[in-house]
Amino acid sequence: MNKKEKNIKVEGEELELNNEETTQNGAEAQAEDANGEETPAEEELDPLVAAQNDAEQWKDKYIRLVAEFENYKKRTLKEKSELILNGSEKTVAAILPILDDFERATADKTEDPQAIKEGYELIYKKFLKALETLGVHKIKTDNADFDVDYHEAIAMVPGMGDDKKGKVIDCVQTGYTLNDKVIRHAKVAVGQ
């Protein structure tokens, strides 16, 4: 608020006219708002109260967010431990029918070598099919180029000719991939 004072001299006397608006202290002071209307000073404190309310809301949101994150960490840790403990459940469930076949073959008292061989081959094919459904595949080695990503050279075979140089000559142990990741390298002999 402006305080205006005018000093006027009238024939040797000095008169002082105060042209000031009344002011009040503290909470009784009045202010003009954006519409030009006068509002009590308590509403001037409104931004402070609003800021405090806003701060309380943010604090509440922060506390809730931290609690939610802690619950998320606990939940994911529990799920992870369950996956580790029970992660092989799918694999075991796929292999159990093959175990049943082996039990039936063992319980069978036949002595016919041809029947035993056929039973063995059927169980072997069933086992390979079960592994393929789980994403396990053999690494190809027949007439393949030697690749360190898939093969492990255990022997170098000299004198095989230029057409066999750097090629897989023999597979000593089959390698396997699980979903395109090598889980066991194929042990091979390589032409020199």
Could you give the number of structural domains in the chain? 3
CA 141 vs CA 12, 158, 171, 177, 181: distances in Å: 124, 19, 7, 13, 16
CB atoms near residue 184 (< 10 Å): 14
Q: Is there a single domain that holds both residue 94 and residue 122?
A: yes
54 domain residue, yes or no: yes
The pLDDT of residue 56 is: 95
Strand-pair category, 181-184 with 176-178: antiparallel
Using an 8 Å Cβ cutoff, are 7 and 23 in contact? Answer: no
pLDDT per residue as tens digits for the range 17-53: 444 444 433 334 444 444 444 454 445 568 899 999 9
* Full residue range of the structural domain in which residue 106 is found: 88-134
Query: For residue 172, what is the domain's CATH number?
Result: 2.30.22.10
Q: Is there a single domain that holds both residue 157 and residue 124?
A: no
Q: Is there a single domain that holds both residue 153 and residue 182?
A: yes
Q: Is there a single domain that holds both residue 171 and residue 160?
A: yes
| pLDDT tens for the 192 residues of the chain, in order | 444 445 555 455 544 444 444 443 333 444 444 444 445 444 556 889 999 999 999 999 999 999 999 999 999 999 999 888 887 888 899 999 999 999 998 898 888 999 999 999 999 999 999 999 999 999 998 888 899 999 999 998 887 777 788 889 889 999 999 998 999 999 999 988
The pLDDT of residue 11 is: 52
